[in-house]
């Protein structure tokens, strides 16, 4: 469970432009699984896991990715935990604020994820860019945007953006 949680936080780190921390967290998760003999593919959502690491690799470059991955993989678990505690502040502020950010005021019964999508739509991102940033499929973004349009009673990106601006959602 801890390993899966670290990977989810790693996904957030990547979204926030911290690919090195993504590698760090995924490698630590792998180390924890190995140390406790919990390695099971059931704990990993393969497509999301693979896509997240691929994006981190693309941001960092193959050589930097490999160096970071090997550094954290070869470290004994006790050392990983000591280092984690020392470096906690470098990661905690931006990630904790993202994870624990207050839910926006309820408007049109949008979910937190729909608020995220609406915010990105209002910033002018395409569905492809939104899918990449949120590390989800295009189909998921399409579903969210259609649901948002229905809840807001609009039929276009422009009108959804206008709604978001008029209601101080962005």
Which domains does the chain carry? 2-99 (no CATH), 112-166 (1.10.10.10)
> Which pLDDT tens digit goes with each residue over 41-92?
555 556 777 888 899 999 889 998 888 888 877 776 667 666 655 555 454 4
In this predicted structure, the answer to whether residue 162 has a pLDDT above a threshold of 50 is: yes
Contact 43, 31 (CB under 8 A): no
Listed in sequence order, the residues at least 6 apart from 31 whose beta carbon sits closer than 8 Å to its beta carbon are 72, 73, 75, 77, 80
pLDDT at 142: 93
Radius of gyration (Cα) for the chain, nearest Å?
18
Would you say the C-alpha torsion 36, 88, 46, 73 has a positive or negative sign?
negative
Between 45 and 96, the more confident residue is 45
pLDDT at 8: 81
Rounded-to-integer distance, Cα 115 and Cα 108, Å: 10
Counting every residue written for the chain, the total comes to: 170
pLDDT at 46: 64
Residue carrying structure tokens 């896509």: 51
Q: How far is CA 82 from the centre of its chain?
A: 25
pLDDT at 81: 61
> Which pLDDT tens digit goes with each residue over 127-150?
999 988 888 889 999 999 999 999
> Which pLDDT tens digit goes with each residue over 98-126?
444 444 555 668 888 888 899 889 888 89
Rounded-to-integer distance, Cα 66 and Cα 49, Å: 16
Question: How far, in Å, are 26, 27, 38, 76, 85 from residue 73 at the CA level?
Answer: 10, 6, 15, 8, 17
pTM for the whole thing? 0.46
Rounded-to-integer distance, Cα 102 and Cα 123, Å: 20
């Amino acid at each position: 469970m801890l390993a899966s949680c670290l990977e989810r936080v790693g996904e957030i780190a990547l979204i926030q432009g911290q690919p090195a921390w993504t590698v760090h967290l995924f490698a630590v998760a792998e180390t924890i699984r190995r140390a406790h003999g919990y390695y099971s593919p059931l704990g990993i959502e393969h497509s999301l896991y693979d896509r997240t690491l691929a994006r981190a690799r693309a941001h960092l470059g193959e050589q930097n990715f490999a160096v970071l991955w090997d550094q954290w993989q070869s470290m004994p678990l006790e050392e990983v935990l000591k280092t984690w505690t020392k470096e906690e502040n470098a990661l905690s502020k931006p990630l904790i604020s993202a994870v624990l950010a207050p839910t926006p005021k309820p408007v049109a019964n949008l979910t937190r994820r729909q608020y995220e999508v609406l915010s990105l739509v209002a910033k002018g991102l395409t569905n492809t860019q939104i899918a990449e940033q949120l590390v989800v499929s295009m189909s998921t973004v399409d579903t969210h945007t259609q649901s948002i349009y229905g809840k807001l009673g609009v039929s276009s990106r422009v009108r959804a953006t206008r709604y978001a601006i008029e209601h101080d959602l962005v």
